[in-house]
Amino acid sequence: MTAAGAVSWPVPCSPTALEPMRRNLGRWLAAAGWPAEAAADVVLAVNEAVSNAVEHGCAQRCDGVRLDARVSTAAGARRVDCTVHDCGDWDGVPRRRAARGFGLSMIRELSGDVRIEHGSAGTTIHLSAHDPPGRTDR
């Protein structure tokens, strides 16, 4: 952990690294006071982004994936921002195969804002979610 509201984790290029990543992210969100149902959506979206990075980015030339997450407050509203970075050279064109290829759609559905950057340094997915309104336990 780098600060109370931020974390950074290296994720090895292995599907077996996904479960510990989900567990760590879920615990961190709970410690940050993120509501359980909303945290589950964040964990699912990040899991899909990391899974894509492990499957595609690591298949090329990566030693691993980096996950950065931060909870911040602005104008009384909290949000969580997550960034998943791999060194793969995805061209930005989604490809769908039978029963596959819906990961980015799912990430967009579960997150309030999604941006994807790709270039010679790799692919980075930025996603964010806002703390659900109506919470009384802040």
Indicate the angle between helix axes 103-110 and 36-52, nearest 10 degrees. 150
pLDDT number for residue 94: 60
pLDDT number for residue 92: 56
The structural domains of the chain, ordered by start, are 6-130 (3.30.565.10)
Q: In what order do the strands lie in the sheet with 113-119?
A: 6-12, 64-74, 77-86, 122-130, 113-119
Classify residue 13 as left (phi > 0), alpha (psi -120 to 50) or beta: beta
User: Of all residues in the chain, what percent carry a pLDDT higher than 70?
Assistant: 81
- Angle ∠(80,90,52) on CA atoms, nearest 5: 50
Q: Which residues of 82-108 are buried (b: 16+ CB within 10 A; e: fewer)?
A: bbbbbbbebeeeeeeeeeeeebbeebe
Global pTM value: 0.84
pLDDT surpassing 60 at residue 83: yes
